[in-house]
Amino acid sequence: MKQKGMKHRCKIRQQWPLYIMALPGVAALIAFSYLPMAGIVLVFKQYNFKQGIFGSPWVEPIYKNFKFFFNNLSTAMRSTRLTVMYNILFFIVGTIMAVAIAVMLGEITNKLFIKVSQSLMFLPYFISWMVIGAILYALLNAETGMVNQIVRNFGGEGYDYYAKPGAWIPILVIVNTWQSCGYNSIIYYGVISGIDSSLYEAAKVDGASKWQCIRKITLPLLRPTVVVLFLLSVGNMLKGNLNMIIGLTNLNPVLLSTTDLIDVYVYRSGVRNGEMAFASAISLYQSVFGLFLVVISNKIAGKVDPESTLF
């Protein structure tokens, strides 16, 4: 034990610059991720603004704040189903597009073109959902929208997208992919840039085509990164993007049958009425269920490819 302790202290003395470099990140993690966990007590309180989180009385029964979400079981299940469905669609479509863009960039030799393309694709990631919503409204508005005007010019009839809930499943997937795939493609492009070029040279010597190099070398080497990003996204499988729905639909009640995600439902039913305890209870439910999904998915990934696991 003494030898292990001495080795540990010796390692700390040798690597103290690394510990100092990590100190700001650790401090930020504690300040913004761990200390706020004390607010979880709000889940079991009858919260009021005057007494605050810790001064508010305890709720009875202790699970009362969770009951609000499941009082209307059909609405709760609809919100859960929509949230999971959208997150799966966002990941699948977004990953396919991001990998395709990264592979295409990897085949381009003009460095200036690659830098300009990456900057243009990365730009939507920094545009707020309110601005994207305004752009989308200018495109899809039933009367003056560009899409409907083009359709009418070709003799067709306009389509009121803001009165058709079914149309918003592909719309949300397309807009989310447009907003995020540029950022994700840079991650995959970084992995492709790190692949040993001798693998491609050897494949070409053996007569492999471009498509065969992509299918047999690039895509298999990208698989661990895809798995890791999937495991990271699984933790948020029950969390919907409230800002996206507010920005794009302005919580249009006509569209709620396809846009009422868990976060939207909680915002409509709890936060708007000042019921912070209800919202906190559902956030805890989402986090615990997300942790459970991450652990299960990580075990499954470990059986398929042990090197692709998070822990």
Integer CA distances (angstroms), 219 to 42, 145, 215, in order: 46, 40, 6
Domain coordinates in residue numbering, the chain: 1-42, 45-308
The per-residue pLDDT for 288 is: 83
Read off the pLDDT of residues 120-164 as tens digits, 9 standing for 90 and up.
Answer: 888 888 899 999 999 999 999 988 889 989 988 888 888 889 999
Closest CA to 188 of 176, 200, 180: 180
**pTM attached to this predicted model:** 0.83
Residue 90 has pLDDT above 70, yes or no: yes
The per-residue pLDDT for 133 is: 93
**CATH level 2 (architecture), domain 45-308:** Orthogonal Bundle (1.10)
Q: Compare 273 and 200 and report the one with higher pLDDT.
A: 200
Read off the pLDDT of residues 287-311 as tens digits, 9 standing for 90 and up.
Answer: 888 888 888 888 887 777 777 777 7
Percentage, residues of the chain above pLDDT 90 = 22
Residue 2 has pLDDT above 60, yes or no: no
Read off the pLDDT of residues 231-269 as tens digits, 9 standing for 90 and up.
Answer: 888 888 888 888 999 999 988 989 989 998 988 888 877
Q: Compare 39 and 207 and report the one with higher pLDDT.
A: 207
Average pLDDT over residues 111-118: 84
Average pLDDT over residues 204-230: 88
User: Could you tell me the two tokens for 72?
Assistant: 């209307």
